[in-house]
Every structure is written in structure tokens, then in C-alpha cells.
């Protein structure tokens, strides 16, 4: 190794050490100074630019980080790390104080970059990656905001509109109910049809069938053909996953399976509306805490559902997870209790101290998955009512080796007594209930002997969720 290479490697080690010590300003300055040396080998310069970009991103200097990534395009452009970092930077820039048009364009570019990073990889996306992509799409295609996409695309010069841009526009028009216009946009795109074209057409036809037929199980065979056509072209791990999710939904008929309590022919029946959504969000913020990230439901049910993750705060040592959106479903309480304020519910649970919502280990994420499974129950069966005192078995819940597959619904425990209820702007109530997970044997004890016997067996009343706790009724 030459002296220049040795010096370059030592410099990279110094910058890496500064990044590990969170001395990002010093790391960025050191990298910037070193880059003025025109005699550095190309690979050393590329590594310096990469570390400079990381430092700038961590400092929140996103525009500078984006410019640094552009300098890496000749040697890294199109690779998975470059595209993934581009998506992260663009998404972060969209969160800054920007006009709706600027924000939408940045999100469109972030989605395209992230999908491109999955396209060049043979590995399936991780749960963390899927959550990030879902967050981008939530911001883009929400019915209350996706009207910005046609305006953002119209502001682009014709030569800058890619096939993916046209597909994004078609998706937005689909969400707005403009199905014919969406098809015209897709079919007018020049060039060969890529796999995502067929996926987008299938998505459009699938939702159009439900929106326009008003039937419980309309004919979605045309959509199915498009998804299969996409899969035939080897679309990559991400698009294959999305196609198969739709094909599963078609097979099981889970789009709008509930027929009682709402006008299920209208997708908005499964959504709060902006004023109600904001009211529930503010209730969660003031009564339960501020969230630092969300899981989103990827079920094709039409239910707009988020699971905010609320980090530990004063008086609470563990994370709190809750639903936002389940209360849009009007349930039928048992025993003639209609009109009692028990028709709508949101759920929350409190984790033990030390639990972290890391996406690398699926076993860590099962509490959020469990809330999504619970939210699906009243959609799948109109007789299901979720409320205090009910217990549900979730046999399909992916909890790894945990085995806590029964969910007990309780009124809020201290210090969350004032979390219930939430009053919507029109005066309707949404009940907030707490979830505790039990082993089957514990659930059977509860059914046979009551709640006091269960608390005694568990060693005291506690609503904390512990993924690794032992089965108290294990023989």
C-alpha cells in the first residue's frame, strides 16, 4: 500500500471515530478539508464523500447532504446504498418547512429512489424498510393530501416525467376516485411496459371494482390478471411481495368484508375524516404522549390505521403503542347497548421498560402486529365487538417463540385513567381500552375463575406487556 493510501485510510478511521462519538461537525469539517487535496485516490475520495454525507445528514443539513450524494453519482449512482441514502435525505427534506408542492415532489422522488434500491437487491425488504416505505406512501397518497400530486407532476417539464412519475400520478388519481383518468395516464405512457406498470394497473382495477360495484365480492379477475402479469416479468422482491399481498386479498375476499354498521360501498366509511382524525391524534398526544414513529397497516381493507409508538416519558418507563383509526369502524355492542358510547374503540398497550421497537428482529415487533390483528377482527366479522372484558385469540399472530396469543381488553389502568373516552367534534365518543397479552392457559384460567384469580397467578395486577415473560400457568 502506498503512503498516500495509508494516510487516506488513517484519515477515514479518524472520521469514523468522530462519527461514532457523535462529533459530526468535526467529522464533516475534517472530510471537507481532506477533499481539497486533489492527489487522493478515487476510492479514498468516494469514502470521504460518503462519510461527509453521513455527517451532514446527522447534523440536519439535508440540502448539503443531497449535494454530496450527487457528487457520488459517478461511482455509486444506482447502487442500493446510494439509492437508499437518497431516499432518506429526500424524505428528511420533505419534513422541513416547505410548500405543499415542494414537499410532494420530494416525497415522489424519495419513493422512486427507495423502490429503486429494492429493485437492485435480491434480498427481500426488512420490516424497517417496509415501514419506511409505508410512511412515505402514507404522506403521499392519503386521500386528504394526494390531490397535490397532479399539481406537482404538472409543474414538471415533460422531459423530466419518468414512467414512474406517471404511475405515481395514476395512483393518486385512483385514490381520488378518478379511475378513467388514471387509466388514460397509464396507457399514454411511452415505451415498453415495466412490471410496475402492470402492478399499478392491477391496483387501479382492484379498487375500481370495489368502488363502483357496491358488491360484497365484486369481480376482480381483471386486476388479478394484471398482478400475475407483473409477477411473470420477475419484478424484484418488493414488487413481488406487494403483488402477492393483493393476490392473497383477492383469494380471501378481505377488501370490504364487513356489511353491518356502515356504508361499505364507500371507502370513506372506514376513515375518520380530517377533523375526527385530528381530534383523536390530539387526544393521544395529550393523554398518552407524543409518538416518535408509526407503523402503518398494509392490509387492503380500506381501513386507514396507524399505530403510533410513544417513547417512555415521566411516570412511564416503557414504550406505549396505540391505534389511531380503528374508531372509524362502528361496532354493535352486545346486549342492546347501542347508543351507549361503546360503538367505537381505540386500543393501546404499555411495554415493559427496556423494550425497543427495533425492526431488525421481527420478534420485537409483534405487539404492533398484534394491534393490527385485533383491528382486523371487526372488519372480518360484523358480530365482533371489541370492548372492556373481551378476550380474543389471535392464532395467526407472528410472535415467534412467545406464545402469548390471547388478547385481553381492559379499561385503562393507572396512570392512564383519563385516556378514556375521547370526544369527537360531533360529540360522539371513542373508548380507549388497554390490551394485555396472555398465554392460552392464562386465558382459560381467566374464563374459569375470573380476573382476581389471574392477577393472583401473575403475582399482582399489571398491564405491562413483556414479550419474554414466562407462562404463569405452565405445568
What are 74-126's pLDDT values in tens digits? Answer: 888 889 889 999 999 999 898 888 888 899 999 999 999 999 998 888 888 87
- Grid coordinates 461537525 are at which residue? 25
Q: What are the phi and psi torsion angles at 430 (to 5°)?
A: -120, 120
Mean pLDDT, the chain, whole residue set? 81
**304-357: pLDDT as tens digits:** 777 888 888 766 778 888 988 888 888 888 765 555 678 889 999 988 888 777
Question: Checking DSSP bridges between strand 320-322 and strand 293-296, what pairing results, if any?
Answer: unpaired
- For residue 464, the SS3 value is strand
- What does the pLDDT read at residue 111? 93
Most confident of 95-99, 247-251, 398-402: 95-99
Q: Binning pLDDT at 50, 70 and 90, where does residue 376 land? A: confident
- What does the pLDDT read at residue 275? 78
Q: Cell numbers for 191, please give them.
A: 415505451
**442-467: pLDDT as tens digits:** 888 888 888 888 888 887 767 888 87
> For the ranges 9-18, 154-163, 222-231, 364-373, which has the lowest average pLDDT?
364-373
Angle between helices 80-94 and 127-141 (to 10 degrees): 40
Q: What are the phi and psi torsion angles at 438 (to 5°)?
A: -130, 155
Distance CA(216)–CA(256), nearest Å, equals 7
- What does the pLDDT read at residue 365? 67
Distance CA(149)–CA(169), nearest Å, equals 6
Judged against a pLDDT cut of 60, whether residue 370 lies above it is answered with yes
Claim: this prediction has a pTM higher than 0.85? no
Q: Cell numbers for 42, please give them.
A: 478515487
- Grid coordinates 417463540 are at which residue? 401
- For residue 406, the SS3 value is strand
Judged against a pLDDT cut of 50, whether residue 262 lies above it is answered with no
- What does the pLDDT read at residue 93? 92
**Dihedral over alpha carbons 222, 303, 128, 79 (to 10 degrees):** 40
Q: Binning pLDDT at 50, 70 and 90, where does residue 267 land? A: very low
Q: How is residue 313 annotated by DSSP?
A: B
Judged against a pLDDT cut of 90, whether residue 226 lies above it is answered with yes
Judged against a pLDDT cut of 50, whether residue 433 lies above it is answered with yes
**Which strand (E) or helix (H) includes residue 42?**
helix 42-58
Amino acid at each position: 500500500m502506498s503512503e498516500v493510501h495509508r494516510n487516506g485510510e488513517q484519515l477515514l478511521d479518524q472520521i469514523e471515530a468522530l462519527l461514532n462519538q457523535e462529533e459530526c461537525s468535526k467529522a464533516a469539517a475534517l472530510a471537507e478539508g481532506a477533499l481539497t487535496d486533489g492527489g487522493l485516490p478515487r476510492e479514498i475520495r468516494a469514502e470521504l464523500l460518503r462519510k461527509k454525507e453521513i455527517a451532514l445528514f446527522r447534523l440536519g443539513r439535508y440540502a448539503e447532504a443531497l449535494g454530496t450524494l450527487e457528487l457520488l453519482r459517478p461511482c455509486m449512482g444506482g447502487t442500493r446504498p446510494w439509492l437508499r441514502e437518497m431516499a432518506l435525505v429526500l424524505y428528511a427534506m420533505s419534513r422541513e418547512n416547505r410548500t405543499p408542492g415542494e414537499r410532494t415532489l420530494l416525497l415522489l422522488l424519495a419513493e422512486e429512489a427507495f423502490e429503486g434500491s429494492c429493485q437492485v437487491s435480491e434480498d427481500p425488504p426488512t420490516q424497517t424498510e417496509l415501514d419506511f416505505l409505508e410512511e412515505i406512501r402514507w404522506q403521499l397518497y392519503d386521500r386528504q393530501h394526494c390531490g397535490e400530486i397532479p399539481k406537482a407532476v404538472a409543474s414538471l417539464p415533460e422531459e423530466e416525467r419518468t414512467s414512474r412519475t406517471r404511475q405515481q400520478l395514476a395512483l393518486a388519481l385512483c385514490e381520488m376516485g378518478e379511475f378513467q383518468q388514471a387509466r388514460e395516464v397509464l396507457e399514454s405512457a411511452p415505451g415498453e411496459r415495466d412490471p410496475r406498470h402492470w402492478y399499478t394497473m392491477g391496483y387501479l382495477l382492484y379498487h375500481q371494482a370495489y368502488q363502483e360495484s357496491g358488491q360484497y365480492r365484486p369481480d376482480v379477475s381483471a386486476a388479478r390478471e394484471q398482478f400475475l402479469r407483473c409477477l411473470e416479468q420477475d419484478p424484484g422482491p418488493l414488487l413481488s411481495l406487494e403483488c402477492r399481498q393483493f393476490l392473497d386479498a383477492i383469494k380471501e375476499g378481505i377488501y370490504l368484508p364487513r356489511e353491518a354498521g356502515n356504508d361499505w360501498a364507500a371507502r370513506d366509511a372506514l376513515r375518520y375524516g380530517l377533523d375526527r382524525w385530528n381530534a383523536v391524534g390530539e387526544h393521544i398526544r395529550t393523554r398518552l404522549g407524543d409518538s416518535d414513529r408509526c407503523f402503518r397497516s398494509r392490509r387492503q381493507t380500506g381501513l386507514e390505521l396507524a399505530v403510533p409508538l410513544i417513547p417512555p416519558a415521566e411516570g412511564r418507563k416503557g414504550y406505549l403503542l396505540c391505534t389511531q383509526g380503528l374508531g372509524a369502524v362502528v361496532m354493535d355492542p352486545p346486549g342492546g347497548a347501542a347508543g351507549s358510547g361503546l360503538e367505537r374503540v381505540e386500543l393501546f398497550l404499555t411495554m415493559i421498560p427496556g423494550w425497543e421497537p427495533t425492526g431488525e428482529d421481527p420478534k420485537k415487533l409483534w405487539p404492533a402486529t398484534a394491534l393490527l390483528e385485533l383491528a382486523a377482527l371487526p372488519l372480518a366479522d360484523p358480530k365482533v365487538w371489541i370492548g372492556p372484558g373481551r378476550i380474543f385469540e389471535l392464532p395467526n399472530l407472528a410472535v415467534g417463540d412467545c406464545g402469548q396469543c390471547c388478547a385481553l381488553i381492559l379499561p385503562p389502568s393507572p396512570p392512564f385513567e383519563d385516556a378514556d373516552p375521547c370526544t369527537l367534534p360531533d360529540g360522539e365518543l371513542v373508548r380507549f381500552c388497554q390490551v394485555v397479552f396472555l398465554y392460552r392457559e392464562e386465558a382459560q384460567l381467566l374464563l374459569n375463575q375470573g380476573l382476581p384469580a389471574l392477577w393472583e397467578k401473575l403475582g399482582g395486577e399489571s398491564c405491562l406487556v413483556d414479550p419474554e415473560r414466562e407462562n404463569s400457568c405452565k405445568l
